[in-house]
């Protein structure tokens, strides 16, 4: 997954004064990132308001970003949520053309057990036609993905990375140590960078 080496930016979704997606501003944001040397773009991650956009708005955001990017940088798409069946269905129904990987956040609010997190991501892995990046952000989800769970998930062929945002350097180092050599531990937190 050489496309995921370097700096990936989770794009925000700007809105106008009427509360609609500001597609012109979104295009400017994409061009600003490309022009300033980022290595890949994350579309509809949690920073991109993915949980508050309608299906139609998501479709339009993807279209705007793809058009503005014009193939210049690799694209990662965020597909996550706290309902495993909904996430799996979204992966099966999504048009993932033009994306190199899926970023999927650990379930929020439910506070699943480690086995629950494993089973959720096992289902995501089985449903995804693209490589999967796990996203651990306990400050937002209410639960932390343990190193042991990440190690188990790293054994799936298409689970290729974790965006680690727990803010725990020892945990991140253990993920690096105990996962396969080609498994990426991507910093999702300034402390880990």
- Active-site positions read 135, 163
> What are the residues whose beta carbons fall under 8 Å from the beta carbon of 59, sequence distance 6 or more?
none
The rounded radius of gyration (Å) of the Cα atoms in the chain is 16
Closest C-alpha among 190, 111, 177, 110 to residue 150: 177
SS3 88: helix
Closest C-alpha among 100, 167, 120 to residue 140: 167
Closest C-alpha among 81, 80, 14, 68 to residue 41: 68
Q: What is the DSSP string of 22-43?
A: -HHHHHHHHHHHHHTT-SEEEE
């Amino acid at each position: 997954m050489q496309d995921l080496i370097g700096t990936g930016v989770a794009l925000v979704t700007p809105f106008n004064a009427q509360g609609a997606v500001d597609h012109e501003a979104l295009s400017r944001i994409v061009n600003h990132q490309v022009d300033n040397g980022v290595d890949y773009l994350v579309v509809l991650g949690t920073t991109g308001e993915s949980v508050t956009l309608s299906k139609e708005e998501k479709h339009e955001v993807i279209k705007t970003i793809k058009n503005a990017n014009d193939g210049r940088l690799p694209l990662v798409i965020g597909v996550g949520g706290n309902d495993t069946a909904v996430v799996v269905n979204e992966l099966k129904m999504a048009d993932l053309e033009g994306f190199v990987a899926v970023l999927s956040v650990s379930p929020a609010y439910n506070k699943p057990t480690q086995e629950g997190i494993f089973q959720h991501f096992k289902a995501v892995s089985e449903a995804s036609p693209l490589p999967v990046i796990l996203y651990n952000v306990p400050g937002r989800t209410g639960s932390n993905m343990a190193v042991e769970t990440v190690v188990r998930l790293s054994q799936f062929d298409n689970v290729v990375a974790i965006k680690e945002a727990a803010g725990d350097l020892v945990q991140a180092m253990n993920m690096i140590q105990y996962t396969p050599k080609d498994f990426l531990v991507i910093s999702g937190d300034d402390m880990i960078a």
